[in-house]
């Protein structure tokens, strides 16, 4: 399988908690390569493009508000099967049930808020990665 690229975001909760370095270290220890890295204050327009498939869902507005609440770190990663590998490294979406050893399992928790604050985002497919990378880079 050829080398892939993917988008990873350290979301505002991860940046605010000072976990960017820990998350980057885990990515690098896994053997993936950082191609580009940016600290971004995302605009509503950028987030609307990124989360377009969720428009109209009950969590859409709270999600946009959360993602605009502070800076995110956008990361372009490369590596063999990096999409699948990062999603495994991140853990399941719900940090309460994410397995120990994963980013969300070790560092995340449920804060009882309107939207899940789960530290990171990773593209879920090659098509999503291409679309999302074009939005953030």
Specify the pairing of strand 72-80 against strand 120-122.
Answer: unpaired
Q: CATH number, domain at 48?
A: 3.30.70.141
pLDDT in tens, the chain (137 residues): 568 999 999 999 999 999 999 999 999 999 999 999 999 999 999 999 999 999 999 999 999 999 999 999 999 999 999 999 999 999 999 999 999 999 999 999 888 877 889 999 999 999 999 999 999 99
pLDDT in the model for residue 128: 97
Cα separation values, 60 from 74, 81, 116, Å:
20, 29, 11
pLDDT in the model for residue 112: 81
pLDDT in the model for residue 84: 97
The parent domain of residue 15 ranges over: 3-136
pLDDT in the model for residue 89: 98
The tally of domains found in the chain comes to 1
The contacts of residue 98 (CB under 8 Å, 6+ apart) are: 90, 91, 92, 104, 105, 108, 118
pLDDT in the model for residue 2: 64
Which active-site residues does the annotation give? Answer: 121
């Amino acid at each position: 399988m050829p080398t892939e690229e993917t988008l990873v975001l350290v979301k505002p909760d991860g940046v605010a908690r000072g976990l960017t370095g820990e998350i980057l270290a885990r990515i690098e220890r896994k053997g993936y390569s950082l191609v580009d890295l940016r600290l971004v204050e995302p605009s509503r327009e950028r987030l609307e493009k990124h989360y377009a498939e969720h428009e109209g869902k009950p969590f859409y507005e709270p999600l946009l508000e959360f993602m605009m609440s502070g800076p995110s770190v956008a990361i372009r990663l490369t590596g063999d099967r990096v999409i699948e590998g990062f999603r495994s490294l991140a853990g399941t979406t719900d940090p309460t049930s994410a397995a120990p050893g994963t980013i969300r399992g070790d560092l995340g928790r449920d804060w009882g808020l309107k939207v899940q604050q789960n530290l990171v985002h990773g593209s879920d497919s090659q098509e999503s990665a291409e679309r999302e990378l074009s939005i953030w880079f």
